[in-house]
Structure 1
Amino acid sequence: MAADQTVHGIPPSLSASVTGSFAYLTVRDRMPTILTKVIDTIHRNKNKFFEEHGEEGISAEKQAISLLSKLRNELQTDKPILELMDGLPDAESWNQYLQRQQRQQGDQEPVSWFKSPWLYVECYMYRRLQEAIWLNPPINNFDFFNEGKTEGFFESQQAVMTLCTYLGDIQKSMQTLSENQLSQYFNKLLQVSLWGNKCDLSISAGQKNSQDSSPIDSLNSLQSFILVDDSNAVWLTLNSSRRLEGSGKTTADRVDIVLDNAGFELVTDLVLADFLVSSGLARQIHFHGKCFPWFVSDVTANDFQWTIRQTMAANHKWMCKSGFQWQSYLKEGVWCYHDHPFWTQPHEFCDMAADAPELYAALQGADLVLFKGDLNYRKLTGDRDWAHTVDFSTALRGFEPAPLCSLRTLKANVQVGLQPGQAEKLASQDPSWMTNGKYAVIQFHGPKLPQ
């Protein structure tokens, strides 16, 4: 297969069950398993729907389950991909993307679940989940993934408290920190945000996946598992702004974070963002989340606000203090939360300039964009069968709205930017290295700055 050829169907390398700390399922099983859990969650909330909406709620529950059961049959039996019928603002874009897939495949047979790019059908399933719930008011705002995201947050409380305490200790001595000390703290919190990405419920198919150890104490033992570490380039990009501040130009006026998972990972992102602002490395943080429930544990606007409220309400000095600080950042406009339909579409990011020019233009206003997680990495690289030694910049295929960095733990069969022989050595030592979440990368693309 050519390096730039999209992987179609279910990749052979993912067809067998892989093991690891995330209780991985086979790719064939994961989507039906997630669908079954959604159906079960909706059914278990039947009494709640009745209490809130009466018989209308019960009827909506039955209709939603019927649509989801039909969807499960479609994906298990390789039925054709259907156009969306819910009339939501993004439906036309999705249907145009389906037509694009059909043109690429030709007219011999319809686009179907087993004969389409894996990235496309996986995203499509989550969009169909949204359609099934949206078509059935009054329960059409129900987040069927909320229980798992909430549990993930509360099960990680000790780690959250440890992290907020660590941040508080840094901030108490912020004015006296040397450049070297500031750099060291930045690298630690960047790595905490990186490894927070382990907590991904879409990969574990919704199974328990929380952080129950100290995120700071574990960093040294995890260092050798970072396959590409461009953290110094990220630091230079941010720190160059502070050197130029006296000239009236601050290049790190704004850092954007394209979020991945709710729960503990979101807290690691908020802590990193707080550090960037309180240290003067950035003046403003723009967060980008999802418009609706997506990939089981991805952050929505409700998750974002809920997490900050829960942190504010915590019976812990530093956790509570962090929550109030974060709320203050939002009120003052130092932090901003955005969502855009493009993040919940199947497009590769190299399509953004053409398919979502307003979003691309918005990202151009950032001085650094951090992309969290595996799905964002797949979209950055097109989820293609690249040689592992291909440069990250090549795999981006022209997507460069601003200097960018991917913080990702490996859970899918795509990885670029490795040294010659590195992938082969990993494969001999750990055959599931690309999918078991054990390894990670901090990969940067942007102008090279002097040391």
Structure 2
Amino acid sequence: MATQVVVLPASLAGKFEGSFAYDTLKDRLPLILTRVIDTLHRHKNEFFEEHGEKGIEAEKKAIAYLSKLRNELQTDKPLIALHDNLPDTILWNQHLEYHRNLSNEPPSWFQSPWLYTECYMYRRIHEALVQNPPISEFDVFKEEKSHGFFESQQAIIVLSTYLQELLKNIEDLDEKHLQEEFLKLFQVSLWGNKCDLSISGGKDNSQRSNPFQALEGLKSFILVDHLEKVWSLLINKKKTTAQTTRIDIVLDNAGFELAADLVMADFLLASKLATEIHFHGKSMPWYVSDTTKQDFNWTIRQMKSANHKWMSRCGVSWEGNLKKGVWVYQDHLFWTLPHEFSSMAKVSSDLYTELHKSNLIIFKGDLNYRKLVGDRKWDFTVPFHQALNNFHPAPLCSLRTLKCDIQVGLKPGQGEELTHSEPEWMIIGKYGIIQFDAAS
């Protein structure tokens, strides 16, 4: 059985100092808000140059809004309704009413499920900008994402070089060697998920080392490895049908992780394990480093214009894939709602119907995992299929490094043994999972 995870009230914090949920609210979220405020302040001159006094006035109002938001968080004030009248505003306010009805009082920052309050904070950050034109489109996290990309450039060069050399002979690879490359690139995509700026509070968390050199040593840290099942699904489909094979990738972080995902996607297309790939990103700046359409396009432009032939070759190829329609980028407001994915069919039936067309959905990262299984304190041995709570639009796979205290599908005693030997194993990003559900 599972019990709902709630954020502990401040009065109990001393007894539960190890609670990742409480620490996130107490420490990380105010830190992120402070960095957002600082970012806006540092761009004051830019706003003035582009928009004159209106830009300065908008910057002041946005900072005042965010300062008030930070105080609300730190003093456990009730959560309030949104007022920006965007397409998702009604859904957010309905969800607030739902939580109010659960407890017969307004939910507050320290008394609510932490996935909800964390998502709520990022949505309020967006409201601070949206309500203050002409800086409404400013991405307060763009600097961190750009920095993460450039600081990881040597690792991206290694990836690009490896891919381009691989593609020269990919049609000559036998099945065994194709599988080896498949396993390798999926593992690089998995460990790329370490580069998460929401966990580091926006501080540098780039990939600087050769991503291939560490793979062998990291295998023992993959707690659930269903990659062979994913391979079997795709290779059998390739052998038995001439029709399209569609793979959907629900993206997580921009920067190195996105580059690793794009390399993996290029390989899947070139190897004919997929004939079309749909990428799903966020429709607004989210969780500091999550990928938006702007980040996706910016990354491909940076690759294309790079002063390195293999990076540039990747960028040109990826731009071509988008133009040919074999790569498709999509965003949807559901990805930035606080709802678990089990409610997708009801809340956003159009997205569920779209995902139902897929032959494999790859969910990247911690936030997607939390929404896949629900932000609950599951028993470690609860089957992944059960925890998905009837969310089965298509076969799906979660690639995730562990950065929150939720995990299902482990062997009996595995979680308890890890807890005994390494109490913070669930939150430090050291361990990973490749967890598959066949949706049958």
TM superposition score category, shorter chain reference:
over 0.9
Distance apart, 1:4 and its partner CA: 2.8
Contact 1:25–1:204 (Cα < 8 Å) also in 2: no
Amino acid at match of 1:416: V
Contact 1:14–1:27 (Cα < 8 Å) also in 2: no
Cα pair distance change 1:14/1:162, threshold 3 Å? farther
1:204-215 matched pairs, under 5 angstroms: 204-215=200-211
User: Alignment partner for residue 138 of structure 1, among 110, 134, 138?
Assistant: 134
2:7 aligns with: 9
Cα pair distance change 1:260/1:94, threshold 3 Å? same
2:330 is paired with a residue whose SS is: strand
CA distance in structure 2 between the partners assigned to 1:16 and 1:277 by the alignment: 47
1:164-313 matched pairs, under 5 angstroms: 164-245=160-241, 248-250=242-244, 253-313=245-305
Amino acid at match of 2:416: E
CA distance in structure 1 between the partners assigned to 2:270 and 2:423 by the alignment: 42
1:389 aligns with: 381
1:413 aligns with: 405
CA distance in structure 1 between the partners assigned to 2:5 and 2:160 by the alignment: 42
Per-residue deviation, residues 275-328 of structure 1 (Å, max 9, x unmatched) = 000000000000000001000000000000000000001111111101100000
2:153 aligns with: 157
Per-residue deviation, residues 21-78 of structure 1 (Å, max 9, x unmatched) = xxx9754111000000000000000000001001100000000000001100111111
2:419 aligns with: 427
CA distance in structure 1 between the partners assigned to 2:111 and 2:416 by the alignment: 29
2:31 aligns with: 33
User: Alignment partner for residue 117 of structure 1, among 99, 107, 113?
Assistant: 113
User: Alignment partner for residue 76 of structure 1, among 74, 77, 91?
Assistant: 74
User: Alignment partner for residue 306 of structure 2, among 309, 314, 330?
Assistant: 314
Q: Does 1:440 align with 2:440?
A: no
Amino acid at match of 1:354: K
Contact 2:365–2:399 (Cα < 8 Å) also in 1: yes
Structure 1 runs not aligned, ≥5 long: none
Q: Runs (4+) of structure 1 moved beyond 3 Å? A: 10-19, 24-27
How many percent identity over aligned positions?
58
- TM-score, with length taken from structure 1: 0.94
CA distance in structure 1 between the partners assigned to 2:240 and 2:360 by the alignment: 16
Q: Does 1:398 align with 2:396?
A: no
Contact 1:18–1:436 (Cα < 8 Å) also in 2: no
CA distance in structure 2 between the partners assigned to 1:29 and 1:447 by the alignment: 38
Cα pair distance change 1:82/1:337, threshold 3 Å? same
Contact 2:249–2:363 (Cα < 8 Å) also in 1: yes
Cα pair distance change 1:126/1:13, threshold 3 Å? farther
Contact 1:409–1:441 (Cα < 8 Å) also in 2: yes
1:437 is paired with a residue whose SS is: coil
Structure 2 runs not aligned, ≥5 long: none
Cα pair distance change 1:18/1:209, threshold 3 Å? farther
Q: Does 1:61 align with 2:33?
A: no
Distance apart, 1:403 and its partner CA: 0.1
Distance apart, 1:114 and its partner CA: 0.9
1:96 is paired with a residue whose SS is: helix
Cα pair distance change 1:262/1:13, threshold 3 Å? farther
Amino acid at match of 1:68: L
Amino acid at match of 1:435: I
CA distance in structure 1 between the partners assigned to 2:310 and 2:8 by the alignment: 46
Amino acid at match of 1:141: E
User: Alignment partner for residue 352 of structure 2, among 345, 360, 364?
Assistant: 360
Amino acid at match of 1:82: I
Contact 2:99–2:106 (Cα < 8 Å) also in 1: no
CA distance in structure 1 between the partners assigned to 2:157 and 2:214 by the alignment: 15
User: Alignment partner for residue 370 of structure 1, among 362, 369, 376?
Assistant: 362
Distance apart, 1:249 and its partner CA: 4.0
Contact 2:2–2:376 (Cα < 8 Å) also in 1: yes
1:30 is paired with a residue whose SS is: helix
Per-residue deviation, residues 328-380 of structure 1 (Å, max 9, x unmatched) = 00000000000000000100000000000000000001000000000000000
Amino acid at match of 2:30: P
Amino acid at match of 1:373: G
Distance apart, 1:16 and its partner CA: 3.2
Distance apart, 1:10 and its partner CA: 4.0
Cα pair distance change 1:333/1:95, threshold 3 Å? same
2:194 is paired with a residue whose SS is: coil
Distance apart, 1:5 and its partner CA: 2.5
CA distance in structure 2 between the partners assigned to 1:128 and 1:14 by the alignment: 30
Superposition RMSD in Å: 1.7
Cα pair distance change 1:359/1:283, threshold 3 Å? same
1:228 is paired with a residue whose SS is: strand
Distance apart, 1:17 and its partner CA: 6.3
2:100 aligns with: 102
Contact 1:226–1:439 (Cα < 8 Å) also in 2: yes
